[in-house]
């Protein structure tokens, strides 16, 4: 049994508390820490089976009974807490991104050198059953040499302008999942990124210095070309699709829906809308990524997503932003 402490009791922290307490048999949550902990969240956590509630995450790092920490706090704390946890000898699961600053991510890389700490980054979409199936088909050569990868990722509604100001922008808080997915499906890293982007959904997002609609092309090391399209608002729900096209065929996946029912009548042919948001679509994926993290600790194996898997999508996000600003393709080596 792996004893876990979770730092951050916001939306994603609660997701992990729930998934571990209900779906991960080989782990238990001993302590939940958040500087803004309130009575309602504390009571909810205790009802879920969490033993200790605190406002000071350092209590988790100092507890010899806790084997691993999940860092689910605000992005600007991820790298610093990662380094503290590594120095304390705790295995670390860190929600994406590790940081927006490449130099701070590299501090985490250096902290891991020579340690026995397992480190995993939280890119949950790799553990979704749909994307896993597409990746497996591509990795097994069923589509042949990969020529094109297409990823559609559209949220059901835009975030607030206040969130945009602190999120790092669309490329580092939303598209970063798609950058990771491109690497996952292609089986290699990116070489070059080119971005076209605009503010078409909410003027307040533009006023906050960000964009809400983008098409990004990515040249991969294996020669494949990837196309990512993003929108902050799809009125029909959470739109998450992927396709890998190659010399022998194509592997593709559509959206998850509440049912596969299609109604045909005199008014037309209609089906279910996509599941509305990421918590509905990816709850099983969140549990599976933690199961893999716990298994790596118990079996002393590599985690499925290490610190470099946390660095490379950030490099791609920064390249995408630079491409948008300078109206040109940007090589990853320029950012690195």
CA quadruple 232, 236, 239, 241: dihedral, nearest 10: -140
Strand pairing category for 68-71 and 27-33: unpaired
Please report which confidence band the pLDDT of residue 280 belongs to, taking 50, 70 and 90 as the band edges.
confident
Mean pLDDT of 166-193: 96
Give alpha helix (H) positions in the chain.
11-23, 39-48, 58-62, 78-87, 102-112, 129-139, 161-167, 170-173, 175-186, 203-207, 278-299, 307-326, 332-335
Tell me the percentage of the chain whose pLDDT exceeds 70. Answer: 100
| Burial tier of 313 (Cβ tally within 10 Å: 0-12, 13-18, 19+) | buried
What is the model's pLDDT at position 261?
92
Domains of the chain, with CATH numbers? 2-117 (3.40.50.720), 126-282+313-335 (3.30.360.10)
Helix (H, G, I), strand (E, B) or coil at 207: helix
Helix (H, G, I), strand (E, B) or coil at 77: helix
Mean pLDDT of the chain: 96
Mean pLDDT of 34-47: 97
Mean pLDDT of 54-80: 97
Please report which confidence band the pLDDT of residue 278 belongs to, taking 50, 70 and 90 as the band edges.
confident
Which residues make beta-bridge pairs with 262? 271
Residue 212 to residue 194: CA distance in whole angstroms? 16
Which has the higher per-residue pLDDT, 281 or 76? 76
Residue 29 to residue 51: CA distance in whole angstroms? 7
Mean pLDDT of 210-223: 98
pLDDT digits (tens, 9 = 90+) for 99-113: 999 999 999 999 999
Task: Tell me the DSSP string of 131-189.
Answer: HHHHHHHHHTTTT-SEEEEEEEEE-SSPPPHHHHHHH--HHHHTHHHHHHHHHHHHTS-
Which run of H or of E encompasses 4? strand 2-7
Please report which confidence band the pLDDT of residue 214 belongs to, taking 50, 70 and 90 as the band edges.
very high
Please report which confidence band the pLDDT of residue 41 belongs to, taking 50, 70 and 90 as the band edges.
very high
Please report which confidence band the pLDDT of residue 281 belongs to, taking 50, 70 and 90 as the band edges.
confident
Which residues make beta-bridge pairs with 198? 213
What is the model's pLDDT at position 107?
98
Mean pLDDT of 298-312: 98
Kindly report whether the peptide bond that precedes residue 118 is cis, defined as omega within 30 degrees of 0: no
Is residue 291 within 8 A of residue 299, CB to CB? The reply is no
Residue 159 to residue 182: CA distance in whole angstroms? 24
Helix (H, G, I), strand (E, B) or coil at 196: strand
Please report which confidence band the pLDDT of residue 82 belongs to, taking 50, 70 and 90 as the band edges.
very high
pLDDT at 321 over 90: yes
CA quadruple 64, 66, 72, 74: dihedral, nearest 10: -10
What is the model's pLDDT at position 275?
85
Please report which confidence band the pLDDT of residue 133 belongs to, taking 50, 70 and 90 as the band edges.
very high
Mean pLDDT of 153-173: 93
Q: What is the longest distance spanned by two Cα atoms in the chain? A: 68
pLDDT at 58 over 90: yes
What is the model's pLDDT at position 32?
98
Q: What sign does the CA torsion over 245, 249, 251, 257 have?
A: positive
Mean pLDDT of 40-57: 97
pTM of model > 0.85:
yes
Tell me the percentage of the chain whose pLDDT exceeds 90. Answer: 93
Mean pLDDT of 306-325: 98
Mean pLDDT of 54-79: 97
pLDDT at 23 over 90: yes
In Å, what is the CA distance from 73 to each residue of 69, 87, 190, 298, 328? 11, 18, 29, 25, 35
């Amino acid at each position: 049994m792996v004893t876990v402490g979770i730092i951050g009791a916001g939306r994603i922290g609660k997701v992990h508390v729930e998934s571990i307490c209900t779906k991960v048999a080989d782990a238990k949550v001993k302590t939940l820490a958040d500087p803004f902990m309130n009575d309602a969240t504390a009571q909810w956590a205790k009802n879920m089976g969490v033993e200790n509630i605190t406002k000071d995450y350092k209590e988790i790092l100092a507890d010899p009974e806790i084997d691993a920490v999940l860092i689910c706090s605000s992005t600007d704390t991820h790298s610093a807490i990662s380094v503290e946890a590594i120095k304390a000898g705790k295995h670390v699961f860190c929600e994406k991104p590790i940081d927006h600053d490449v130099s701070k991510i590299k501090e985490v890389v250096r902290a891991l050198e020579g340690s026995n700490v397992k480190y995993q980054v939280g890119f949950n979409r790799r553990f979704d059953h749909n994307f896993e199936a597409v990746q497996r088909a591509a990795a097994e050569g069923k589509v042949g040499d990969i020529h094109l990868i297409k990823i559609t990722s559209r949220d059901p509604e835009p975030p607030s302008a206040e969130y945009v100001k602190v999120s790092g922008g669309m490329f580092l808080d939303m598209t970063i999942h798609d950058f990771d997915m491109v690497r996952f499906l292609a089986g290699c890293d990116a070489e070059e990124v080119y971005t076209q982007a605009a503010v078409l959904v909410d003027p307040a997002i533009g006023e906050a210095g960000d964009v809400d609609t983008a098409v990004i092309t990515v040249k991969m090391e294996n020669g494949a070309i990837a196309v990512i399209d993003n929108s902050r608002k799809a009125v029909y729900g959470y739109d998450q699709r992927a396709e890998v096209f190659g010399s022998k065929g194509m592997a593709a996946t559509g959206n998850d829906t509440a049912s596969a029912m299609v109604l045909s009548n005199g008014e037309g042919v209609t089906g279910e809308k996509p599941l509305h948001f990421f918590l509905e679509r990816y709850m099983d994926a969140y549990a599976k990524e933690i199961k893999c993290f716990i298994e790596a600790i118990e079996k002393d194996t590599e985690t499925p997503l290490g610190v470099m898997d946390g660095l490379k999508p950030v490099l791609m996000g920064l390249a995408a932003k630079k491409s948008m600003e300078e109206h040109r393709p940007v090589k990853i080596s320029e950012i690195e």
